[in-house]
Structure 1
Amino acid sequence: MTSSGNKVPSTTETTPVDTDPGPVELHARNVSFDVADVDLHWIPGHPYASNLITALNLVLPEGERWFVKTFNEALPLVRDDELAASMRGFIGQEAMHADAHDKVVWNFVTEHGIDPEPYHRQMEWLFRKLLAPKGTESAKAQRKHLIERLWLIAAIEHYTAVLGDFALNSSWLEVDADPAMADLFLWHGAEEVEHRTVAHEVAVYFGDSYLRRGRAMLVAMPALLFVVFRGGRYISLNDPSGAIKQLDRFLQYRRGVRFNVVPKISDILLASLTYFRPGFDPVEVGDTAQAVAYLAKSPATRKAS
């Protein structure tokens, strides 16, 4: 998904290619990122956009560990060898995402004088308490709860694929965003596009239900928008260069959309509506060839290999 009305056209080498690579074997890439000397506003001229994207990644580690725990709970129940292999690849990638953002983004925010702990405690409660398995229920009730969680993961993964596709088509590098920080988000976004069908396939395997799919999206859509923008507000109000107030955040967000460094809310909402279409297929979001092409040239993945 590429924002419309951009003032800065994207000229990155992540342009979609016509060659379909076919089925891709998912695997975790043992990457590392050095952002020790990166400015808090790592997208020059876009302080709120920088803070908002950084805040998004304070949410992700807890969410991704919840994905991993839920998939590990479901994996022994899967009798389809191909799906099980995809799940193992998904688990490895999500675990690596959580680890990378803990090491990089958490320390990055702290080093710039912002205490992420109050926000992080709320994410811990959300994913470790509210969305945890209900261990005291009957086996039937536990399985039902597992299926509901799998559909919620599928809905969230729809958003991460949409955001990953945006990242691959963004103008971050054209506006001189820090290369290491941009690579962190581009690597993550490319892997989200790469494995975008897995969570949906798992949810369908356990309980194909249009009602469950729609209900999960109705929960995921407002919840994700709330926690992400709340995180952006938290970092912006504690910004050591000066608090970014509500009106300034709104104006800077609109400017970020024009420069293609943040996605349009209307595009996010439109992507939500496509999820409700009965024949929706996650493969419609993003481009596998583009994602694989970026992963082949990412500085972090090249170093890891």
Structure 2
Amino acid sequence: MPRSTPAPAVHDDLVLDPRDVQFDWSALPLHWIPDEPVATHVINVLHLLLPEGERWFVEVFKQALPMITDDRLREEVLGFIGQEAIHAEAHQEVLDHLLGQGLDPRPYVRQVSWLFRRVLGERPGLTAAQRRESVIERVAFVAAIEHFTAFLGNWALNSPGLDRAQADPTMLDLLRWHGAEEVEHRSVAFDLLVHLDPGYLRRVRGMLVSGPMLVHLWVRGARFMLAADPVLDGRIRPTWRDAHLNARRGLLPDLRLLARSAVRYFRPGYHPTQEGSSSQALGYLATSPAARAAAAR
């Protein structure tokens, strides 16, 4: 049976800095990609999923901390926890802004919250061995999801179509700041999984559960956002053809490339350092208006 290869020694100088960014959403239009409500709301699904999802990441990794025996990895996990907590709050602010514009995201968010807290949350009454197994299994889910967030982060850093479409600059900075940090810490969840369980089967199981779940949630989220949009009044429904056409224009990620990326995760020798560019991510973080303002405070 194939086994995961040990994490390469590429993180010796990795220091994950939780950048306490702030964004001003007062001028954000409802359709922040002008005249592109479908692309706007497909990306807006991030704001629906990430606050609850990343808070769940933080809880899972806090539960995993006592199991870590490598000091360097522990420091990376602590940095990861700090970054993810800030990500959750940044996207929560967008949800609050949408509510003020007449688009109520709360019905869908309640469903997402139920999934992460009740279905994927910590279960009471477990023995110590069962609890450890539960934590490692959820780390595997996080590692698989982080593969997708790194893919999306890499796309956001390389998406000139959004600039050509004159997307709102504050939202672009949020997406690219967050995307850059996802690329920056793309290996942490995977390395933690390998540290706790170097076997191949759990990694595969994590992707087989998380991949279809994310696709389902994203499709439902896009449908919800378009139906709840007070301007559209339910006149537009998302289609796979819309997704393909918007991807060709650079407004959305290419689903074919996303599928190929998911397949790479199943390679026995896979490691997240094979995805994206740390230097590009750090380069953007050095120029991001929000990250620069956070560093100056």
What residue is the counterpart of 2:137 in the other structure? 148
Residue among 149, 152, 156 paired with 1:160: 149
The CA deviation at 1:57 is 1.7
Q: Distance in 2 between matches of 1:254 and 1:153?
A: 27
Residue among 81, 85, 89 paired with 1:91: 81
What residue is the counterpart of 2:221 in the other structure? 231
Q: Distance in 2 between matches of 1:92 and 1:254?
A: 35
Q: Distance in 2 between matches of 1:258 and 1:224?
A: 22
What residue is the counterpart of 1:205 in the other structure? 195
Q: Distance in 1 between matches of 2:252 and 2:83?
A: 24
Residue among 29, 43, 48 paired with 1:53: 43
Instruction: Check 1:252–1:22 CA distance in 2 against 1; reply closer, same or farther (3 A cut).
Output: farther
Q: Distance in 1 between matches of 2:141 and 2:208?
A: 10
Are 1:277 and 2:267 an aligned pair?
yes
What residue is the counterpart of 2:92 in the other structure? 102
| TM-score (norm. length: structure 1) | 0.90
Secondary structure of the structure 2 residue equivalent to 1:173: helix
Is this contact kept in 1: 2:47–2:91, CA < 8 A? yes
Is this contact kept in 2: 1:25–1:89, CA < 8 A? yes
Residue among 243, 250, 258 paired with 2:248: 258
Aligned residues: 284
Residue among 186, 196, 217 paired with 1:196: 186
Q: Deviations over 1:74-102 (max 9, x none)?
A: 11221211000000100000000001111
Q: Deviations over 1:91-117 (max 9, x none)?
A: 0000000011112x1122212211111
Are 1:120 and 2:109 an aligned pair?
yes
Q: Deviations over 1:127-165 (max 9, x none)?
A: 111111122111111111111001110000000000000
The aligned amino acid for 2:86 is M
The CA deviation at 1:174 is 2.5
Higher relative contact order (CA 8 A, sep 6+): 1
Q: Distance in 1 between matches of 2:259 and 2:139?
A: 22
Secondary structure of the structure 1 residue equivalent to 2:164: coil
Are 1:245 and 2:248 an aligned pair?
no
Q: Distance in 1 between matches of 2:239 and 2:268?
A: 37
Q: Distance in 1 between matches of 2:240 and 2:127?
A: 48
Q: Distance in 2 between matches of 1:219 and 1:185?
A: 26
The CA deviation at 1:197 is 0.3
Unmatched runs of 5 consecutive residues or more in structure 2: 1-9
Q: Distance in 1 between matches of 2:280 and 2:36?
A: 26
Q: Distance in 1 between matches of 2:197 and 2:50?
A: 26
Identity of aligned residues (%): 44
The aligned amino acid for 1:275 is Y
Q: Distance in 1 between matches of 2:79 and 2:130?
A: 28
Q: Distance in 2 between matches of 1:153 and 1:252?
A: 29
Is this contact kept in 2: 1:21–1:288, CA < 8 A? no
